Structure 1
Amino acid sequence: MARPDEHIHIEWRGGTCRVKWWTGEYLPNGRKRYESKGGFLDEETAMDHGRDQLYEIRHGTHVSNRDGATLMTDWLDDWLAGMDHAPLTERNYKSSVENHIRPYFIRKTVAEIDVLAYRAFRKHVNRAVGAGSAKNVMMVFGMVLDDAVPRLIKTSPVERTRRRGKFTKKKKERKKDVGALVVEQLARNAEAFFGFPGYVFIWTMAMTGMRPGELYGLTREYCYPNWPGADLRTDPDDEERYEEDMERYGKGEGLMPAIRVERQVQYSEGTLQFFPPKYDSHRTLVVPVLLAEMLDKLLASHDSKWVFPAIQGGSLGAVNFDYKYWRPIADGADERSGPRVRKPRPAIPAVPTFKGKRLYLLRHGHKAWLDEDGHSKFAVESRMGHEVPGVEGIYSSVTVPMERAIMKALQGRWEELQKQLRETDS
């Protein structure tokens, strides 16, 4: 066996010496590829450095001179090309890279980014954007640097947060109870803003807990009363599920009205496209009679393929729903009238519970309703599109009695609301 020193060579140039070591690789012409470092004042120090490099090569921790000189911008290209995430996640990662990381390190090599450079960038980002956005940018930057180990850098300069001293509880978003009367106020505001589809949209989210993208992308084929008869059957290997759906759900005696969450809409490469729901959470959501009747009436009122068409037609996913629709619905808006107003609209009152709050909290409210009514944890988490861990997730299933109990409880909330409204009117 060759001794390690046989792969190390010392050369004197002027008053200093240079050490060369074999990288373990070969050039295209078959010759060994060496790397070197100069500036040593004695051969023993140079030899020790060469031995250190051979040790790292043998143990897979060596960073070659060539790889260490990789420009950050080139590594970012490789990192982005290797991503395999959901479209929205990839879009957010690319935004952090292109808007913040790449411009800051445009002429730097990966090896030049040490702890001090990391801290300087963190300070720069915290000044440039809000706390939430800065946290996301630094998270992406951390992944970029972590993935560069060990090929481009030996260790990542990312500073991890360590808990020391007194425990400080993380601040949690303040939520208010979402009662049926609050949902009705939101629904009426939505109806004033974009018609009957708006009214049903709010009640559908409140009664199913569907994610916004799933509601924006809901088409006739997967909505009561058409589903499951109109199911597109995109999975030929799931014939058993289709047969069971026909026996369990639909419009008719003994069947349960339901919506099938099969996809969502998101923008990718400049166009609105269908994608699987988040976490591949395909699921069937039974709905109470009140919502079934609303959906039946809604689909009969228009010919759009989208269950909830936007004001100008098309999917709500194609508009900035949070800003253009949701904020006036939750925060209120002035009356729109006059000869130059194409679509007059009455004043929209604010809903205090949701003023300044996210649409997504309506989904949280649905979860709270299910918990209040004491439904099975597995049935609740499955309905929300969450994976249930452990033995419970393996052995449990959502049964017909569980689904009927959910329908009954949600219908009861609606009937109690109608009673409240009648008492208020009288």
Structure 2
Amino acid sequence: MHLPPFLIALLQELLDSHDHDLVFSGARGAYLRRSSMSRRVFRPAVDGNPQTHTGPVIEGMHFHDLRHTHKTWMIEDAIPEIAQARRLGHRLPGIRGIYSHVTPSIIADITRALEDRWQTTQPDNDKRRHLRGACNKDGVTPDLYLLGRECPQEENSHDNHDDRLHSRGDAGE
């Protein structure tokens, strides 16, 4: 898995903060169990943690939603379908899967796009983008900068699933 520079640096920082061989581990360096990961790490991160006074990022988000968001970002960034499939562990059927290949320049495009998304969402960046998660059951999207904004309603659309995960630039972009 090819990672953007910001993520490599963050993971290295995390590895340097403890003496375990695993990036994410339990208190004694063992593997995290699924229930521990969800309860101690993921849920507090997305739903907020009153004990540490951190607010929610995307309340109610599921771990698998991260895959949907990544796929949507690759579509937005014009990453070829073959690279999207390979990155998510899928295979393309038929001729598309036989004659399509992921090149080093496509890999560089993916990591550059992810790095750009990170850089443009940092608080000190004037060009930051607003990143949204999927609309919740109440029709509200948990926007990382404008939490609680209403989901866009599409005329004559009964299922806007494909449009619910997206990145929205600032007005005028």
Q: Residues 292 and 321 of structure 1: is their aligned pair in 2 closer, same or farther, counting only changes over 3 Å?
A: closer
Could you say which residue in structure 2 is the equivalent of 1:274?
A: none
Q: Residue 311 of structure 1: CA displacement?
A: 3.9
Matched pairs, number: 126
Q: Distance in 1 between matches of 2:95 and 2:120?
A: 37
- Residue 90 of structure 2 corresponds to residue 374 of structure 1: no
Residue deviations 1:44-93 (CA, integer Å, cap 9, x gap): xxxxxxxxxxxxxxxxxxxxxxxxxxxxxxxxxxxxxxxxxxxxxxxxxx
Q: Residues 294 and 329 of structure 1: is their aligned pair in 2 closer, same or farther, counting only changes over 3 Å?
A: closer
Q: Residue 308 of structure 1: CA displacement?
A: 1.2
Secondary structure of 2:124's counterpart equals helix
Q: Residue 371 of structure 1: CA displacement?
A: 0.7
Query: Larger deviation: 304-313 or 377-386?
Result: 304-313
Query: Larger deviation: 378-387 or 296-305?
Result: 296-305
Could you say which residue in structure 1 is the equivalent of 2:3?
A: 287
What are the residue-to-residue correspondences of 1:30-179 with 2, within 5 Å?
A: none
Could you say which residue in structure 1 is the equivalent of 2:161?
A: none
Listed as ranges, the gaps of 5+ residues in structure 1 are: 1-284, 336-345
Which residue identity lines up with residue 36 of structure 2 in the other structure?
N
Residue deviations 1:357-398 (CA, integer Å, cap 9, x gap): 212112211111111000110001100111211111112111
- Residue 64 of structure 2 corresponds to residue 348 of structure 1: no
Q: Residues 328 and 290 of structure 1: is their aligned pair in 2 closer, same or farther, counting only changes over 3 Å?
A: closer
Secondary structure of 2:121's counterpart equals helix
TM-score by length of 2: 0.64
Aligned CA RMSD, in angstroms, stands at 2.0
**Structure 1 or 2: more helix by fraction:** 1
Q: Residue 332 of structure 1: CA displacement?
A: 2.1
Could you say which residue in structure 2 is the equivalent of 1:405?
A: 109
- Residue 12 of structure 2 corresponds to residue 296 of structure 1: yes
Larger Rg belongs to? 1
Listed as ranges, the gaps of 5+ residues in structure 2 are: 127-173
Which residue identity lines up with residue 382 of structure 1 in the other structure?
R
Q: Distance in 2 between matches of 1:413 and 1:288?
A: 10
Secondary structure of 1:308's counterpart equals coil
Q: Distance in 1 between matches of 2:17 and 2:40?
A: 24
TM-score by length of 1: 0.28
Q: Residues 399 and 297 of structure 1: is their aligned pair in 2 closer, same or farther, counting only changes over 3 Å?
A: same
Q: Residues 299 and 324 of structure 1: is their aligned pair in 2 closer, same or farther, counting only changes over 3 Å?
A: closer
Q: Residue 320 of structure 1: CA displacement?
A: 3.3
What are the residue-to-residue correspondences of 1:228-307 with 2, within 5 Å?
A: 285-307=1-23
Which residue identity lines up with residue 422 of structure 1 in the other structure?
D
Q: Residues 308 and 361 of structure 1: is their aligned pair in 2 closer, same or farther, counting only changes over 3 Å?
A: same
Q: Residues 318 and 410 of structure 1: is their aligned pair in 2 closer, same or farther, counting only changes over 3 Å?
A: closer
Secondary structure of 1:357's counterpart equals coil
Identity of paired residues, percent?
35
Q: Distance in 2 between matches of 1:414 and 1:332?
A: 21
Q: Distance in 1 between matches of 2:4 and 2:40?
A: 30
Q: Distance in 2 between matches of 1:296 and 1:332?
A: 25
Identify the match of residue 37 of structure 2 among 321, 333, 356. Answer: 321
Could you say which residue in structure 2 is the equivalent of 1:393?
A: 97
Q: Is the 8 A contact 2:119 2:125 kept in 1?
A: no
Q: Residue 321 of structure 1: CA displacement?
A: 2.4
Q: Distance in 1 between matches of 2:44 and 2:16?
A: 27
Which residue identity lines up with residue 329 of structure 1 in the other structure?
A
Q: Distance in 2 between matches of 1:292 and 1:326?
A: 20
Q: Distance in 2 between matches of 1:296 and 1:334?
A: 28
- Residue 66 of structure 2 corresponds to residue 362 of structure 1: yes
Q: Residue 312 of structure 1: CA displacement?
A: 4.7
Q: Is the 8 A contact 2:82 2:101 kept in 1?
A: yes
Secondary structure of 1:303's counterpart equals coil
